[in-house]
Amino acid sequence: MISPMDVKFAVIGAGNGGLAMAGYLAYRGFSVNLYNRTYSKIEGLAKNPYINLSGSIEGSGKINLATSDIKEAIRGTDVIMITTPATGHYELACLIAPYLEDGQVIVLNPGRTGGALEVYETLRSNGCTKDITVAEAQTFIYACRAIGPQSAKIFSVKNEVALAAIPATRTMEVIELLSEAYPQFTPANSVMETSLNNFGAIFHPAPTLLNSGHIERGQTFEYYIEGITPSIGQMLEKLDSERMQVAMALGVKTISARKWLEESYGAKGDTLYEAIQNNSAYKGLTAPKGLNTRYIYEDVPCSLVPIASIAEELGIETPAIDTIIRLANIITGENFIEKGRTVEKLGLKGLSASQIIEFAQTGDLVAATHRNVEVVAL
């Protein structure tokens, strides 16, 4: 196995997260190729390959390559860190499938819900027969912003981020491979655990859609503190309850959104609304400036739709989640169910709960469909 000190990285996407990640890895001395679909965005880096970092991490890193050629970007690398929005995961998987090499590891930062499953299934359906591991982080490791074409500010670095691979038997190998660059990654039991502990599914689409009037008028307000009222808080609790029902059916370890706020921020309350109001970290965070936001266009198709689709496959009703998806469709004119991560796109169509667990553990669809394992709460 390659030494964690010698890992060669490809970072896919030169947006906020990608620029910060590529800069950090280069600053730490790793070999980094940076890919962006639009060359004009990275043209400066191609000529002068330095990324400047400020904030929690101060310094500069020299990247190995900046390119809009995906084949060139991933050639000879060990880890492919995908930092694009989850809505781009499918197209990227199609794009890289012909050029992947045996032993490479793909990490989605983050996967949202079903990201690793979607990429894994897409590689398979596009004829990729290489020995590839696909992993997903539960959330992005930085709070960061690009502040120029060659500069990024890292506001904070998370102390711990759960990560899982498909097959799950390789999770610890991925953790070890990334350990020198990112010791914050900790193992989750499977990609079903990282996927169903996606709290953005609860906190992003519903408050945005239910405050659409204020947002469209351009009214500035605090997204969490003012945008989440007691009645919207009740809606979030129903969404969260349905998410947890799906997790429970799959034996996935999860906690409520209210408990997550307590564990992550020390914010307590008898209701989710109260816990949000008591979270000092949310104070001052303003709402999106318009409805063309990732809170809808990413979190509905890549967070809520897969939860609803898996629930339907398992015979679980999700009326609250279904309502928010339909509302998003009506308000935007999009069909997020058609565009989103359904069980067909995740390779889970026709599988029982036990077979889904088996597939996540082994990555072997044939074995999963021929075995009937007992669901055990993890």
Which residues form the catalytic set?
204, 299
**Token pair of 343 as six digits:** 């069980």
Q: In Å, how far are 57, 180, 282, 306 from 27, measured between CA atoms?
A: 10, 13, 31, 37
Which residues does 3 contact at the CB level (< 8 Å), separation at least 6? Answer: none
3-state secondary structure of 128: coil
Identify the CA nearest to 243 among candidates 375, 117, 112. Answer: 112
Strand order in the sheet with 161-166: 65-67, 31-35, 8-12, 79-82, 105-108, 133-137, 161-166, 185-187
Bridge partner list, 146: 152
Strand boundaries in 183-284, DSSP class E? 185-187
Element (H, E) at 354: helix 353-362
**Token pair of 99 as six digits:** 């050029």
Which sign does the torsion angle of CA 188, 193, 196, 197 carry? negative
User: Is residue 205 a contact partner of residue 243, using CB atoms and an 8 Å limit?
Assistant: no
